[in-house]
Structure 1
Amino acid sequence: MNRFLTSHTGLRSFSFSVFLWATVQAAMAQTDNAERRYQNAVRLIQQKDYTKAKAELRPLTDGQTGGIAPYAHYYHALADFNLKRFSESRMMLRQLIDRFPNWKKLDDVYYLLGAAYFESGQYEEGIENLGRIGDPALKADVSKLEAYYFGQINDLNRLKLMQKEFPNNRELALTLIDQIQRTSTSPADLELSDRLTNRFGIPAIARPVATESNPNATASTVVKPERNRNKGYYNVAVLFPFRINEINPEERARSNQYALDLYNGMKLAKTKLQSEGITVNLFAYDVDNDVSKMTALVANPGFVQNDLIIGPLYAEPNRVATEFANANSILLVNPISTSSELIANQPLAFLATPSLNQQALKTAAFARTLSMVKKAAIYFGNTRKDSTLAVLYQNELKRIGYAIQDFRKVGADLESIRLSETNKPGHIFLVSSDENMGPKLLRLLNQRKIEVPVIATASAFDFVKDPLSVFTKSDLYLVYPEFVDQQRPETDEFEEQYLDQRNLIPSTYAYQGYDLLLFFGRTLARNRGQITSRSQLKTAPEEGYLLSGYDYTASNENQVVPIVKFDGTRFTLIK
């Protein structure tokens, strides 16, 4: 059988000639008259003269025509279907099932019966009959049929009830996801959409649909859809290691908590954007350090409908995603990486967090304003990030004419530092991921009576445990990419909303997720989704952001590197 979807019903029709002639020859018990009537009915159906075809087929359904009888039932039902007599079509198909329960073509019967129920709005009965089909070769046709009819349902509550009754039906889930993202802002609906997206993926915006002019297309036919730039909304794929299957509600410290926090911040930004008239659809994907999963994801024809990709957070999946994004002119943003390598020679890939190289450049420029003495001491901790930033900073200082008086890795014991009151640099730079290292260095400098400006990474301090007196040194400055000004009204509003919705105090990652989607969502809307270069990403220092904003005027790395100072009562941004 050669199946295709007609343009007005979505139901496949059939090319009969060879198949039906073989059927007639195989029917040993029929009379010449029955055979002639059957062949004539076939020709009439091919000519779309369904009423006359029924007249020829009706006498052949009495069970006295041997092997022809079940076929006569089926094509009589098909003729009724095309005449939009759906009740009569269902009645004839049920009669066929009752009379010929072992007929070899029952899968085709269930397919037509399901379509007849769909046409009458009896979706549950339609799904049940399609579920009885056992032939794997028909599964693609079933998916297309369901996608066609489910797409006509505009009642969101009806779709939710149906999906609850048939939780494993993929086409139903995809239709519900699409309906929620287009019509609902309810937190419960969006949570449902997220769960379904993690399980079933993103709805394919343009599915391959066969027509009478293209009768051989099937659901497995790969047709790359064109991106719809004027759809009025923006699709955002979030590719994070959510590790949904590993989540234990009893655990407080989860390995994936940062991913959940980033995403929860984005969901609040989605609501904020909606209030500005910008509709963003978030589609979350559980993508860990798995290249094969990322490869399969970008192979999905519907994935090209995304306007922004956030993540993945691991290098190899990110490489696959970046290649796809560049090939399809889609923005890709890594929310937390500080590696410039991820965006090298990638015109549409961006870092939301300033890279280590950018931090070194901006910090060195700031250091020049602190002292006329062009000598520096650089100390760094045990992590690769610490040593990398220290080396980058050293290189930049040397480039601008500084002498490096001391450059060393420091551990718990700082006594190896070769500084004294009479042998001191113009400034000290401390890079450490050990939150105890900052206070230790300040105590050492105080003991040795060394009074020089100190620039340190914020990660060298514990802002919860360290008393404020630690930060009162008049010339202590912190490089703090994650700085949030707690005095701003936007911060209070965000924290209240986050606490109300998540019952958690927002982490740094929640702030980052919020700002990222807010900035890039506004950028997409301003450019109607058509972004081809970073020149279209306007600098955003304020405008309701919780962190310190974005600047891509000279690079695809965010060039905003916040440096803060304690003013006696609070930390303030000085650069």
Structure 2
Amino acid sequence: MKHTSMINKKLILCLLFFIPALAFAQVTDYNRQYFNAKQLFREGKYNLAMEAFKPLIPYASNNQFSEYAAFYYALAAHNQGYNAVAKDMFNQLKTLHPDWDKMDEVNFWLGKVYLDNKDYFQGIKILASIKDKKMEKEIEALKTKALAPVTDVETLKMMREEYPKDEVVGKALVNALAKDMADKDSRALLETLISQYNLKRSDYFPETPKTIHKDTYTVSVLLPFMVSTLEPTPGRKRNQIVLDFYEGMKLAADTLAKQNVKISLRAYDTDRNTEKIKTLLKTDELKSSDLLVGPFFPEENKAIQDFSLENKINVFNPFSNNSDVIGTNPYAFLYQPSVETMGRKSGEFMAASVRKKNCIVFYGTSRRDSLLAATFVDKARERGLKVLGSHRITKDNLGKVVGTLATATEYDEYKYAKQFTLRKDSLGGIFVASDDALIYTKVLGAVDTRGDSALVLGSEDWLEQTALELDKYSSLPVAFIAPNVSLTNNPYLIAFNRKFIRTHGRTPSLYARMGYEFMLFAGNQLHKNGAYFQESMNKEKYIPGYLTQGFNYEFSRDNQLIPFIRFRHGKAVLLDKR
């Protein structure tokens, strides 16, 4: 028993010495394991580093590396593209160790993870919580790189609303706006931001030379007059549109001369021949032009645009609504509103005009129709309209129009439809993004059958076609996008009609009126603002017209002013202009 007691005493003494040794060995193990894991991280062996850091993450009283191990574990995961794992670990670190002195670095990398995952709002929010001023340059570089691919203007606008003092967000919005300046409001915002951040305007708006004032301005018209094929008969010619337009221009030049605005009007026949155009554009005569007008056909456009850009001569395309025609050429303009402008303004008009805030869209098969419909839908929804459907109509599915609008569910005693699948008076408006008579006559026929108050919005081009009589438009709730329509009580129109009939012995067409109005507009811009009139036009919200409602080229290279009309008692009445 005595021997046993001695053994127990020795065992106790050994344990007393051994336990501190074990504890010291354990601390040494934490140190060694952490530094081994850190070495693996430095060597880029991130998968092995994660395995080595993992046992060090749980909190223990003698483990001084818990926070560091969690941080580098998350960083190693991020470096391998395991962003979900990294995000969870960084957030866990913030929850368990909110007072850790390296929390700014945690937030930097957590913000980067969110930005990499395109969660921009959360990423910027996390980065905004960093207090260390020494990290500002790194944060700015991180956000700049992350936001550079973001081109959606609306997303960046919302970001700026949430973080109005964030200069990186503001500059990202500037870059996005500069790539898509179709909307006048976007251009105005771009101007504001350029001023706010003291940016160089010429980096975003192509600068034109200082304007030049002259006694006489040369306007060169490049259109397919097809002189060699014209027959000396009074009948309508194949290119009557072009001939009428130029006749209107000539009358306007005569009117301008009486107002002491001197225009030297020169006509060049392109013959719808690209090689002939290239030959014409090599002449010194054309290089001395102050303004080019044309072309008519799309295949003629590139040569004229290249010539305009190379020689720094302004050019107006008088007929096209396609913004691709002018591209990025700072000297090029559309006389007509672009398709995008018409779509947006139509969405605004419809939203403001209908009591029931829902509508339906029908559009044709062309790219123009699709773009017009899409821009209308975007703006209509933005302004609070509910778009119940947007239907592409082809020759094979024309019945869809009647099927959508006029499928009867109830009849009266005379077998006339009195209720429909789409209930009567449930619809606010119908937007028809097509000039195809097969489509719009089907829509108007269905509206006539319904007999309700849904507003149909279409194009002034319908009025030039013979599919329906003007009286029909007076009896139906139809409005028109009408940038070229002249109101019958306009005294300038009355005077022009008299002058044209006296000169040509016939009533002027729409295109003759367009030519007259265009030349008065362009001639007055040249006279007032010189050969490079764009800077002055940029600053004018409204330029009055003579035959039409006028123009707006503020921060724009297409006419932003859109009148909307209806017919009452066979006469056009202005409803609104935007």
The equivalent residue for 2:403 is 416
Report Cα offsets for 1:202-261 as digits up to 9, x if no partner: xxxxxxxxxxxxxxxxxxxxxxxxx99555101010000111111112372322111111
Question: Residue 317 of structure 2 is aligned with which of 309, 334, 337?
Answer: 334
The equivalent residue for 1:212 is none
Q: Is the contact between residue 350 and residue 556 of structure 1 (CA under 8 Å) also seen in structure 2? A: yes
Question: Residue 258 of structure 1 is aligned with which of 241, 244, 250?
Answer: 241
**Gap runs ≥5 in structure 2:** 1-209, 407-419
Cα distance between partner residues in 2 of 1:317 and 1:463: 27
The equivalent residue for 2:348 is 365
524 and 538 in structure 1: CA distance in 2 versus 1, 3 angstrom threshold: farther
* Shift of residue 484, structure 1, vs aligned partner: 1.3
Q: Is the contact between residue 535 and residue 553 of structure 1 (CA under 8 Å) also seen in structure 2? A: yes
Question: Residue 407 of structure 1 is aligned with which of 390, 394, 404?
Answer: 390
What amino acid is the match of 1:484?
S
Report Cα offsets for 1:489-521 as digits up to 9, x if no partner: 111111111112122221111111111111111
What amino acid is the match of 1:417?
T
Q: Is the contact between residue 224 and residue 296 of structure 2 (CA under 8 Å) also seen in structure 1? A: yes
Cα distance between partner residues in 1 of 2:344 and 2:363: 17
The equivalent residue for 1:269 is 252
**Gap runs ≥5 in structure 1:** 1-226
* Shift of residue 445, structure 1, vs aligned partner: 2.2
What amino acid is the match of 2:403?
S
The equivalent residue for 1:284 is 267
Question: Does residue 431 of structure 2 align to residue 429 of structure 1?
Answer: yes
The equivalent residue for 1:505 is 507
Cα distance between partner residues in 2 of 1:510 and 1:519: 14
Cα distance between partner residues in 1 of 2:539 and 2:281: 25
Cα distance between partner residues in 2 of 1:441 and 1:556: 33
Secondary structure at 2:276's aligned position in 1?
helix
TM-score by length of 1: 0.56
Q: Is the contact between residue 527 and residue 536 of structure 1 (CA under 8 Å) also seen in structure 2? A: no
Report Cα offsets for 1:400-440 as digits up to 9, x if no partner: 55433122234564422256352743311123323465454
Over the residues paired in the alignment, what is the CA RMSD in angstroms?
2.9
383 and 505 in structure 1: CA distance in 2 versus 1, 3 angstrom threshold: farther
Cα distance between partner residues in 2 of 1:293 and 1:512: 26
Cα distance between partner residues in 1 of 2:529 and 2:325: 24
The equivalent residue for 1:386 is 369
The equivalent residue for 1:551 is 552
More helix, by proportion: 2
383 and 521 in structure 1: CA distance in 2 versus 1, 3 angstrom threshold: same
The equivalent residue for 1:245 is 228
Report Cα offsets for 1:235-292 as digits up to 9, x if no partner: 0100001111111123723221111111100001101110110110111001144333
The equivalent residue for 2:567 is 566
The equivalent residue for 1:180 is none
* Shift of residue 572, structure 1, vs aligned partner: 1.2
The equivalent residue for 1:496 is 498
Q: Is the contact between residue 240 and residue 285 of structure 1 (CA under 8 Å) also seen in structure 2? A: yes
Cα distance between partner residues in 1 of 2:464 and 2:283: 45
536 and 277 in structure 1: CA distance in 2 versus 1, 3 angstrom threshold: farther
Secondary structure at 2:243's aligned position in 1?
helix
Q: Is the contact between residue 311 and residue 333 of structure 1 (CA under 8 Å) also seen in structure 2? A: yes
Report Cα offsets for 1:441-487 as digits up to 9, x if no partner: 33322323443222122334567674554233574311123211122
540 and 522 in structure 1: CA distance in 2 versus 1, 3 angstrom threshold: farther
The equivalent residue for 1:520 is 522
The equivalent residue for 1:314 is 297
Secondary structure at 1:417's aligned position in 2?
helix
Question: Does residue 439 of structure 2 align to residue 452 of structure 1?
Answer: no
Cα distance between partner residues in 2 of 1:273 and 1:291: 32
Cα distance between partner residues in 1 of 2:540 and 2:343: 23
TM-score by length of 2: 0.55
What amino acid is the match of 1:488?
N
Secondary structure at 2:325's aligned position in 1?
helix
Secondary structure at 1:505's aligned position in 2?
coil
Report Cα offsets for 1:283-324 as digits up to 9, x if no partner: 100114433322222222232211110012233432222222
Q: Is the contact between residue 355 and residue 557 of structure 1 (CA under 8 Å) also seen in structure 2? A: yes
* Shift of residue 391, structure 1, vs aligned partner: 3.1
Cα distance between partner residues in 1 of 2:532 and 2:373: 39
Secondary structure at 2:260's aligned position in 1?
coil
What amino acid is the match of 1:367?
M
The equivalent residue for 2:189 is none
Cα distance between partner residues in 2 of 1:249 and 1:373: 56
Q: Is the contact between residue 437 and residue 461 of structure 1 (CA under 8 Å) also seen in structure 2? A: no
Cα distance between partner residues in 1 of 2:504 and 2:234: 16
Structure of larger gyration radius: 2
429 and 228 in structure 1: CA distance in 2 versus 1, 3 angstrom threshold: closer
Q: Identity, % of aligned pairs?
A: 26
Report Cα offsets for 1:93-118 as digits up to 9, x if no partner: xxxxxxxxxxxxxxxxxxxxxxxxxx
The equivalent residue for 2:96 is none
Question: Does residue 471 of structure 2 align to residue 484 of structure 1?
Answer: no
Cα distance between partner residues in 2 of 1:521 and 1:436: 39
Between stretches 396-405 and 485-494, larger displacement belongs to 396-405
Q: Is the contact between residue 480 and residue 561 of structure 1 (CA under 8 Å) also seen in structure 2? A: yes
Cα distance between partner residues in 1 of 2:261 and 2:573: 32
Taking the TM superposition and a 5 Å limit, the aligned residue runs for 1:91-490 are 229=212, 231-250=214-233, 252-371=235-354, 373-381=356-364, 383-400=366-383, 402-410=385-393, 413=399, 414-418=401-405, 420=420, 422=423, 424-435=426-437, 437-461=439-463, 466-473=468-475, 475-490=477-492
515 and 290 in structure 1: CA distance in 2 versus 1, 3 angstrom threshold: same
Report Cα offsets for 1:10-35 as digits up to 9, x if no partner: xxxxxxxxxxxxxxxxxxxxxxxxxx
Cα distance between partner residues in 1 of 2:298 and 2:469: 38
Cα distance between partner residues in 1 of 2:531 and 2:453: 53
469 and 506 in structure 1: CA distance in 2 versus 1, 3 angstrom threshold: closer
Report Cα offsets for 1:72-123 as digits up to 9, x if no partner: xxxxxxxxxxxxxxxxxxxxxxxxxxxxxxxxxxxxxxxxxxxxxxxxxxxx
Cα distance between partner residues in 1 of 2:355 and 2:490: 35
300 and 440 in structure 1: CA distance in 2 versus 1, 3 angstrom threshold: same
366 and 299 in structure 1: CA distance in 2 versus 1, 3 angstrom threshold: same
Q: Is the contact between residue 317 and residue 335 of structure 2 (CA under 8 Å) also seen in structure 1? A: yes
What amino acid is the match of 1:353?
Q
Q: Is the contact between residue 434 and residue 461 of structure 1 (CA under 8 Å) also seen in structure 2? A: no
What amino acid is the match of 2:474?
T
469 and 463 in structure 1: CA distance in 2 versus 1, 3 angstrom threshold: same
Cα distance between partner residues in 2 of 1:474 and 1:293: 48
